[in-house]
Amino acid sequence: MVYDRERERRNDATYAEHKRAVAAGEKRVLRTTSTGELHSHPGDEIGFTPGRGQAQVSTWWGMGILAAVAILLAVFSVAIFLGPTATGGGPFWPALFLTVFSGAGGWYTFTLARDEYRATRLRKLRGSPKPGTSGNVDINLLELGQEHREH
């Protein structure tokens, strides 16, 4: 990776802006963008972060597909649960675990898709860049005016 002095200056300016906004009480998240530069996003511009313990899906519609699959699995598991009652038997109780698990997964992925959709729409309206997939920036490593090493 080539050292870019101008990028570091822009990153320092972004970091200074971020610190001022946080000091003023704004809820901001400092993230690297998909281009690798820092950007201070308002909290509502951050949806979900792929690769941080969540699914490896990076778009709202991809998460929506996962939600639809989980909800279909929940509907199917209800059919399995209630299937034996059609022949006069009792419900198939082990299927209840699948129903609860897939229903909870469907709700979780649906809320992630909804939040990412809202965040994507806000970023487009405000002209903000898309956050990168690397997560939050460790602000303890950033110090304004520090000497940057040449690589």
151 part of a folded domain = no
Residue 131: its H or E element? strand 131-136
Number of domains making up the chain: 1
Residue 124: its H or E element? helix 94-126
> Range of 52's domain?
5-141
41 part of a folded domain = yes
What SS3 state is found at 145? coil
Q: Whole-prediction pTM value? A: 0.70
Would you state the structure tokens that stand for residue 25, as one six-digit string? Answer: 């009480």
In what side-by-side order are the strands of the sheet with 28-33? 38-42, 28-33, 131-136
- Vertex 86 angle, CA 83 and 91, to 5°: 50
Smallest Cα–Cα separation from 135: which of 52, 15, 42?
52
Tokens 């906004």 -> residue: 21
Neighbours of 113 (CB within 10 A): 23
149 part of a folded domain = no
- Vertex 108 angle, CA 102 and 41, to 5°: 160
Give pLDDT, residue 43. Answer: 76
130 part of a folded domain = yes
81 part of a folded domain = yes
Give pLDDT, residue 117. Answer: 92
Q: What is the pLDDT of residues 52-95, one digit of tens each?
A: 555 577 788 888 999 999 999 999 999 999 988 888 888 888 89
Neighbours of 71 (CB within 10 A): 17
Give pLDDT, residue 8. Answer: 83
148 part of a folded domain = no
Identify residue 43 by its one-letter amino acid code. G
Low-confidence ranges of the chain (pLDDT < 50): 141, 144, 148-151
Neighbours of 84 (CB within 10 A): 14
52 part of a folded domain = yes
